[in-house]
Amino acid sequence: MSPTPLQIAAQRLALAGKVAVLTGAGISAESGVPTFRGPGGLWENHRPEDLATPQAFARDPELVWRWYNWRRRLIAGCAPNPAHLALAALEQRVGDFTLLTQNVDGLHRLAGSRNLLEVHGNLWMVRCTVCGALYEERGLGLPARPACRQCGGLLRPHVVWFGESLDSAILDRAWRAAAGCQAMLVVGTSAVVQPAAGLASVAKQAGAFVIEVNLEPTPNSREVDVSLMGKAGEILPQLVD
């Protein structure tokens, strides 16, 4: 009897000494994390795309912080699901493991992932606009103009806004991980947001076995070695176990 695609993927993943993982919004949707644009796509009559910019923060930091405090409250009760936990467990078993996420919800950290690249930042991290200090701040009632612990300067959310460049050091590590891995997991991502969307192709061209886990087909589905359709919280524990 021929092995199923899930069994083939699990076998190849178990044999890999170097594993790279890319995750997108789909993995956190199962934890109840709302979409970026939120209900109706508006917040206090503002489009999120107009608030998540350096210009909006320079113009009205208190407005931007009200929005981010609202977003933080929305996800404060969300917990890692079995998919996040399965990836954290996989990291413990693989000698060379890199997890790249497009999500800013911090759930991979809560699940225990350590070699983690948060390409778009983290809602629970803050960065000083004066001295550059970067640290975690999980308080839900931040002031309208939160001040840096170190210098008193104005803090900003540690997220990548529209019009800002991604961290080149993080991208470099992501490309090297994709190009050097033996197996790659692409989980819950639409595969349309660049540059992360190109990582699967980089891994595939370098000879890696690429596994996609998603609710529906994506532009990557024809290129990967195995495409598993379904919930990440159900599929990833089976792959890892």
Burial class of residue 204 in the structure, from the number of CB atoms within 10 Å of its CB (0-12 exposed, 13-18 middle, 19+ buried): middle
Of the chain, the percentage scoring pLDDT greater than 90 comes to 83
What is the predicted pLDDT for the residue at 4? 96
Q: Give the pLDDT confidence of 114-169 residue by residue, as tens digits.
A: 999 999 999 999 999 999 999 999 988 899 999 999 999 999 999 999 999 999 99
pLDDT interval class at 42 (50, 70, 90): low
Calpha distance 94→91 (Å, rounded) = 5
pLDDT interval class at 40 (50, 70, 90): low
In SS3 terms, 119-185 reads as CCEEEEEEEECCCCCEEECCCCCCCCCCECCCCCCEEEEEECCCCCCCCHHHHHHHHHHHHHCCEEE
What is the predicted pLDDT for the residue at 1? 79
Residues 31 and 78 sit within 8 Å (Cβ to Cβ): yes
Could you identify the residue written with the tokens 């939160």? 146
Residues 217 and 191 sit within 8 Å (Cβ to Cβ): no
What is the predicted pLDDT for the residue at 2? 87
The catalytically annotated residue of 46, 84, 108, 120 is 120
pLDDT interval class at 96 (50, 70, 90): very high
Q: Which residue has the higher pLDDT, 224 or 190?
A: 224
- Cis status of the peptide bond prior to 219, with omega within 30 of 0: no
Query: Does the annotation count 120 as an active-site position?
Result: yes
What is the predicted pLDDT for the residue at 34? 81
pTM of the model: 0.91
Q: Where in the chain is the domain with CATH 3.30.1600.10?
A: 34-77+122-159
Residue 87: phi, psi to the nearest 5? Answer: -70, -35
What are the tokens at 226?
Answer: 């195995």
Contacts of residue 7, defined as CB under 8 A and 6 or more positions apart, other chains included, come to: none
Q: Give the pLDDT confidence of 164-215 residue by residue, as tens digits.
A: 999 999 999 999 999 999 999 999 987 666 676 789 999 999 999 999 999 9
The CATH number for 5-33+79-120+165-240, chosen from 3.30.930.10, 3.40.50.1220, 3.40.50.720, 3.30.70.60, is 3.40.50.1220
Residues 165 and 175 sit within 8 Å (Cβ to Cβ): no
- Please determine, for residue 50, whether its predicted confidence score (pLDDT) is greater than 80: yes
What is the predicted pLDDT for the residue at 241? 87
Q: Where in the chain is the domain with CATH 3.40.50.1220?
A: 5-33+79-120+165-240
Does domain 34-77+122-159 correspond to CATH entry 1.10.357.10? no
Residue 210: phi, psi to the nearest 5? Answer: -105, 130
